[in-house]
Structure 1
């Protein structure tokens, strides 16, 4: 009897250990024509590069892969969206995978085709809405002379738009997601609790070009109470991950070509976390996805990656 109990305890421990969290961080390298890269971590602070390209871009006018955003659905499928051109495209790229090795055929999703003067479609971001069991995709686009602007040019006056889907085959009509009365890009929806959401965003106006946060009681907003900036100028591409004692918000400090992070418990007070993180050189912004350690182990084995 005692032996059986020991076996059960040992089995439970091994099962829990194998399924502890690890993390993937989608990435790309400039000039963004190689395709999807990824980092991995077991603590969300210290990252290593797989040193390979997972998916080469095949869609869009320029056929690049910038700002890759990925989420894992309830069935285990990974869904990926990305910026496919700097300008000219009225949509973005999409592909899916069960194991991150074998991918579906790439598709171009023409979400802004109905707006003839659309300048661009930047940084599509995926969010899984577990309440309505659907995916929300948000992105930044410029439609000249549609909204008031500051010092920036008309072709750089962005607002956030969105569509929803349950299966990546049928999509809801594109709608305006947020107009905070300034040019906004690189927004990320974060669910903090039931009916408690934060929107981490970049104020892209001159002279701001920094990160701020807004709040709402559902993932569609309206997001209000936009904060003061909590990063310096010339920062963008926020990636948010839950850690033991709060949240880490990573960002691309693109002027000085470095990567930074802040830590927060309430999205109101932020502390510098740069001394606590390690990011490989060349990494450009994407999203962070919690996974099981057992999945990471299988992935590394499949890729036969040598840890850097």
Structure 2
């Protein structure tokens, strides 16, 4: 009996050690300090590691906004970020094996072929395991290119994308989403094979809230844009799978606080903001999972 109890204890110990934890990439305004990270064991309560891991050194303004991190099959972490509010024709990139030691920063000029591009905002990484490639999406404004409603021409965004397997060679930039309104801050979510959701911000003056669209592949097309599931003045969605539900975090910037909703089907959304805890100062990033040993090293 003692031997069985001992074996059970060892099994439980190693199972608990092999579990993953959530990390949330982050930055603080005015975005010149660099990459920050939050962690959570349950996806609801977050703690700031209270350290900057990579100081921005490239781009017109040398800032790091909207840091997005995704891990490839080989375990390498890849990071992209907004390097300037305007005038940059690309975004920042770096990689790491442990989230502590980072490669030299690079500038990826994904919109250099469009000379009138105003900005490149909030690049978001999505790793497509089946195709073994990364999909990178971002928002840019090209004046006088699309219908704009009441938007100023320099604030009339559409989503673009490229793909890469090695972050050395990139596919030609293509239009990713034109929902017939100004759109920014989009996040790709895979529910199952050939079933994808896009969480996005309708950035038009009447709206400025979050919606979802649906597609059959990571590169779209995404259609059937929903009604908003957040109030106005919300942006920067970040999505995490927690149990059988999805949590969508967002910046309620007029209220100067973070909110969250829970959904099982991306059709019905329940506000769970009172159940979550986000450290003060946290801004738009990406939620991803890592082994506990990664967090242990970060805590050191």
The interval holding the TM-score normalised by the smaller chain is over 0.9
SS in 1 for 2:54: coil
Match of 1:80 in 2: 79
> What's 1:268 paired with?
267
Q: What secondary structure, in the 3-state scheme, does the structure 1 residue paired with 2:14 have?
A: helix
Q: CA deviation at 1:5?
A: 5.7
Rounded to whole Å, the distance in 1 between the matches of 2:181 and 2:11 is 52
Say whether 1:31 aligns with 2:34: no
* Match in the other structure for 1:119: 118
Contact preservation (8 Å) 1:96, 1:104: yes
The residue number in structure 1 matching 2:286 is: 287
Over aligned residues, Cα RMSD in angstroms?
1.2
Other-structure match for 1:134: 133
Q: CA deviation at 1:10?
A: 3.6
Match of 1:199 in 2: 198
**Structure 2 alignment gaps of length 5 or more:** none
Determine the structure 2 residue equivalent to 1:13: 12
* 2:120 paired with 1:105: no
Corresponding residue SS for 1:136: strand
* Further displaced range: 128-137 or 14-23: 14-23
1:162 aligned to 2:161?
yes
Which residue does the alignment assign to 1:186? 185
**CA distance, structure 2, for counterparts of residue 228 and residue 14 of structure 1:** 46
Say whether 1:177 aligns with 2:187: no
CA contact (8 A) 1:40 1:48 kept: yes
Alignment of 1:225-236 (within 5 A): 225-236=224-235
1:4 deviates by: 6.5
Q: Aligned partners of 1:222, 1:245: CA distance in 2, in Å?
A: 26
Question: Which residue number corresponds to residue 222 of structure 1?
Answer: 221
Look up the match of 2:254: 255
TM-score, length of structure 2 as denominator length: 0.97
Q: Give, in whole Å, the separation in 1 of the partners of 2:296 and 2:42.
A: 15
Please give the alpha-carbon distance, in whole angstroms, between the structure 1 residues aligned to 2:196 and 2:255.
31
Matches of 1:95 and 1:3 in 2, distance apart? 51
Q: Is the 8 A contact 1:150 1:206 kept in 2?
A: no
Q: Confirm or deny: 8 A CA contact 1:163 1:174 kept in the other structure.
A: yes
Residue 63 of structure 1: how far off its partner (Å): 0.2
SS of corresponding position for 2:250: strand
Task: Tell me whether 1:144 sits opposite 2:143 in the alignment.
Answer: yes
Kindly state the Cα deviation for residue 296 of structure 1 after the two structures are TM-superposed.
Answer: 1.1
Q: Number of residue pairs matched?
A: 300
Q: 2: CA distance between counterparts of 1:298 and 1:16?
A: 19
| 1:80 partner SS | strand
In 1, the alpha carbon distance for the partners of 2:256 and 2:94 equals: 29
In the aligned structure 2, how far is the partner of 1:11 from the partner of 1:42? 21
Q: CA deviation at 1:6?
A: 5.4
Out of 67-76 and 11-20, give the one that drifted further: 11-20
- Give the direction of change, closer, same or farther, for the CA distance of 1:165–1:4 in structure 2 (3 Å limit): farther
Asked if structure 2 preserves the Cα contact closer than 8 Å seen for 1:184 and 1:204, the reply is yes
Report if aligned partners of 1:201, 1:213 keep a CA contact under 8 Å in 2. yes
Give a deviation string over 1:15-65, Cα, whole Å, max 9, x none. 211111211101111111111111111111000111111110000000000
C-alpha distance in 2, partners of 1:99/1:292?
11
Report the Cα offset of residue 159 of structure 1.
0.4
Shift of 1:14: 2.0
- Distance of 2:40 and 2:25 partners within structure 1: 12
Shift of 1:9: 3.8
Q: Specify the SS of the correspondent of 1:69.
A: strand
| Alignment partners' CA distance in 1, 2:85 and 2:297 | 35
